[in-house]
Amino acid sequence: QVLISSQITSLQSLTSHSEEEGNMAPARILITGCNRGIGYELVRQLIEQRNPPKQIIATCRDPSSRQNKKLIELAEKYPKVVVIKLEATDANSINEAVKEVEKHLNGAGLNLLINNAGIMPDSTLESADSADFANVYNTNVIGPFLLAKALLPFLQKAAVENHQLPLSCSKSAIINVSTLLGSIAKAPESFAAFPMLSYRCSKAALNMLSQCQSVGYKASGILCTSLHPGWVQTDLGGPNAPLTVEKSVEGIIKVLYSLSEKHSGILVDWEGNVVPW
């Protein structure tokens, strides 16, 4: 994966300094899977910025669990962080979460949805079965789809509120956290070392979802993009990953602030490079 990452850096970077300076922080953001890993670090770095968002709605599966203490502590320290319960594989939980979101938005639109929650079980051509595929698709594809669909009125509202802005995360956007391993073009180079069959297929499907959303929601003023966070030291990425979660998220935030119409319906990495899919 290190080799592949270095290959992507030779691809054209779409992030320019002037764009980073030009874009404002999205006012209201919802991020899934915030009790650990990339999701937690996104909430922490976004809220600790000089000009933080007005509101960050951070979801996790069990806000009452002691294991999720650090997210709750962050929300206690920063009242702009609201924690709500969301289980991505359960449509009822998504609907209940959206009711809570509506209460917290209190009439405002939602500028940015980051579908971050995801799983990567061991899975190979030999071991994968229907239960493995169903579980991974429910979490990595169907959950993000249902959540975006349920939040669409709030994303549309944010786009209307910011009608003067071009397509951007400050206006209205759906960012689906994907991976290089979901790239069909890159699979021949990495499959032997990183099989993760069901995960790869689910993220390729998530990329298709981003593309379809980008076409379907463009007229509503909503930017839709897939984002590869790099290979990151989290429970999912493992200890051998080259990137710390702090470094990955620093890059992700810069990229989020730089995204514009030309990033609609593509896969972009944490450094702003386009990844072929």
Tell whether residue 38 is a contact of ligand NDP (CB under 6 A).
yes
Distance CA 107, CA 211 (A): 29
Among residues 231 and 257, whose Cβ is nearest to ligand NDP? Answer: 231
Structure-token pair, residue 173: 């956007």
Give the three-state DSSP class for 121: coil
Stretch that binds ligand NDP, among 44-52, 98-106, 230-238, 267-275 (CB under 6 A): 230-238
Stretch that binds ligand NDP, among 36-44, 145-153, 189-197, 250-258 (CB under 6 A): 36-44
Beta bridge partners of 173: 112, 223
* Smallest distance, ligand NDP to C-beta of residue 263, A: 18
Give the three-state DSSP class for 85: strand
Among residues 88 and 205, whose Cβ is nearest to ligand NDP? Answer: 88
Residue 27's closest CA among 214, 257, 210, 258?
A: 257
Site string for ligand NDP, 103-122 (x = CB under 6 A): -------------xxxxx--
Tell whether residue 139 is a contact of ligand NDP (CB under 6 A).
yes
Among residues 156 and 191, whose Cβ is nearest to ligand NDP? Answer: 191
Tell whether residue 37 is a contact of ligand NDP (CB under 6 A).
yes
Among residues 206 and 223, whose Cβ is nearest to ligand NDP? Answer: 206
Tell whether residue 221 is a contact of ligand NDP (CB under 6 A).
no
Q: How many residues bind ligand NDP (CB under 6 A)?
A: 30
Site string for ligand NDP, 162-181 (x = CB under 6 A): ---------------x-x--
Distance CA 116, CA 97 (A): 16
Distance CA 99, CA 92 (A): 11
Distance CA 24, CA 52 (A): 10
Measure CA of the first residue to CA of the last residue in the chain; give whole Å. Answer: 15
* Smallest distance, ligand NDP to C-beta of residue 114, A: 10
**In the 3-class helix/strand/coil scheme, how is 173-212 assigned residue by residue?**
EEEEECCHHHCCCCHHHHCCCCCCHHHHHHHHHHHHHHHH
Distance CA 198, CA 44 (A): 30
Q: How far is CA 180 from the centre of its chain?
A: 14
* Smallest distance, ligand NDP to C-beta of residue 162, A: 27
From 12, 235, 239, 240, residue interacting with ligand NDP (rule: CB under 6 A): 235
From 5, 29, 42, 87, residue interacting with ligand NDP (rule: CB under 6 A): 87
Binding site for ligand NDP (CB under 6 A): 32-33, 35-39, 60-61, 86-89, 116-120, 139, 177, 179, 228-229, 231-232, 234-237, 241
